[in-house]
Structure 1
């Protein structure tokens, strides 16, 4: 069975490719350039079960047509992970909203044209941002779950890059559910979405560790190098380990219980003090260079809206990695590459 993974050079997608190969799937990954594909295949030791295809811009019409035409008799599962993830945008529509929405619609249109009766499962990588109400984030008594939708509108999500990203995930996911509903009479596939919170964890390959990491892992990287006087008061969110996110993507198409589900991935809440405590505890040799521990963790100090993902945990049946495990593994890899460990 062949699985198409869009955006396969991404942080999550690389783990997904590895896990698929470990389970003997044939993997077809889309990349933005031939050089990126060649480099990634080298990292995977040129595994013959892994091939890459160039899709330069996922947002243009018919972007994935050539891939589906080429592998139309092979692709049974599509894992759509490709979407912009950053907070540096200036033109929110052009850089975040439109690519996320059009990229999702583009891959689904290609399935409809070339794989309507052969593609069996589709998994869309969404985000907890599509579920979270940013206007109630500071309400410690507010509880949301997998059935919740962000109230952001097209207008309100364009006030800052954070809300633009949140809006891009919401609207792209809605496109996917609406597309399936509108074409249910001609499409064979069943769908699930994976909605992770902030994703920590080490890079799959040490070569990917650079001075600035992907948006979520950079939280730990920046704290690791921020010095003892860094203000940690604004660092807080829900978290999940990248290895659990990858595992959830595979289970999302392997388990029938996942059909039609929005799988909310969170191992719990954290704040800056939680991370500072772990770094100081696990890396005592770095004392004096790490952020100081001056307060308490997320559940005692300024708690915020809670995410109830008990349904997802029951469906997936996996034990999510703890904050200490994911922070330690992330920081240890960075320090190893820097020659400090």
Structure 2
């Protein structure tokens, strides 16, 4: 339930509320007694989420915005809002124009919500960025390196929109540029609210948002499903870096970032203490699901012990007990098998 300190943020707006991370953030807030104003594009998805949360009918309200980057998109929607958790960001690797479809919407979407927040009673904005905005993809994997909140992906705007850039490059760049736009806004506009940014790594775990089939899973879980649904001959997805976090733990960190006084003005890299790769996922699935044992692969993947993340600020500011990779994989796989049906 809401404590006296939490009363400061009793009414919270969440963007991306019907997405993978956003739905878990909504659930975490509802379970703690907050009133949630959830931003969605699809009325159908919003209705499905609402139907699955009838116990919170008086606490959960949906508002609809088709384009967050549109000027005035949030007009009137932040009235009475104490805190904002901005999760939404474009993620589509099948884009024809990387700049127009990924980078510009991410930047203008952030600017739009921060400008609206500056005209609202909101006291804090928590923004979901990405570890993609931190990673240096050109750094040799053999080198010793510990990533910290001071690191930024070195990709330039020109590189991100060049024909040589992959959609994945452009997505990582969009997260970097959007987050930098947020910090620039805070420095130049000096609004009455403060900002916290979170740069999570790979995010796995059971889904809480409306998903019609395993074919419609979010990107990271789709990779886990590829392992779970393997015939034993399909190559494992590559795991260039071994950082991850359970979506339920990430949702908890979002809420802690909203409520923790000393978090204001800080950037965090939410990662679990334990590292992962898809070989481990395959072994966990084979061990816990006998019917899937024959699909276990003999392929070997390395864990990079020389590349790490500085978790000092994360551990000092947020008292967290993280889920193990095994729990995350098992919980997701159970759900995915149910979703896929008996033929799987």
Q: Same fold (TM over 0.5)?
A: yes
- 1:253 and 2:258 equivalent? yes
Q: Which moved more, 1:230-239 or 1:330-339?
A: 230-239
Structure 1 gap ranges (5+): none
Contact 1:129 1:166 in 2 (8 A): yes
| Correspondence for 2:26 | 17
| Correspondence for 1:129 | 132
| Correspondence for 1:51 | 61
| Correspondence for 2:185 | 179
- 1:234 and 2:238 equivalent? yes
**1:108-123 matches, cutoff 5 A:** 108-112=114-118, 114-115=119-120, 118-123=121-126
Q: 1:83: how far off?
A: 0.4
- 1:321 and 2:323 equivalent? yes
Residue by residue over 1:125-167, the C-alpha shift from the partner in whole angstroms, topping out at 9 and shown as x without a partner, is: 1011111111116234122112211111112223111110100
* Whole-Å separation in 2 of the counterparts to 1:269 and 1:134: 18
- Of 66, 73, 84, 1:78 maps to 84
* Whole-Å separation in 2 of the counterparts to 1:36 and 1:296: 37
1:89–1:178: structure 2 CA closer, same or farther, 3 Å change rule? same
* Whole-Å separation in 1 of the counterparts to 2:64 and 2:140: 39
* Whole-Å separation in 1 of the counterparts to 2:237 and 2:125: 39
**1:242-321 matches, cutoff 5 A:** 242-267=247-272, 268-288=274-294, 290-295=295-300, 297-299=302-304, 305-321=307-323
Contact 2:49 2:210 in 1 (8 A): no
Contact 1:28 1:52 in 2 (8 A): yes
Contact 1:274 1:297 in 2 (8 A): no
Count of aligned pairs between the two proteins: 328
Structure 1 length as normaliser, TM-score? Answer: 0.90
* Whole-Å separation in 2 of the counterparts to 1:105 and 1:205: 26
- Moved >6 Å (runs of 4+): none
Q: 1:64: how far off?
A: 1.1
* Whole-Å separation in 1 of the counterparts to 2:306 and 2:42: 42
| Correspondence for 2:14 | 5
Could you say what the CA RMSD is over the residues aligned between the two structures, in angstroms? 2.0
Structure 2 gap ranges (5+): 1-9
* Whole-Å separation in 2 of the counterparts to 1:127 and 1:278: 27
* Whole-Å separation in 2 of the counterparts to 1:168 and 1:261: 20
Residue by residue over 1:153-201, the C-alpha shift from the partner in whole angstroms, topping out at 9 and shown as x without a partner, is: 11222311111010010011111111111111xx211111111101000
| Correspondence for 1:192 | 196
| Correspondence for 2:7 | none
Q: 1:283: how far off?
A: 1.5
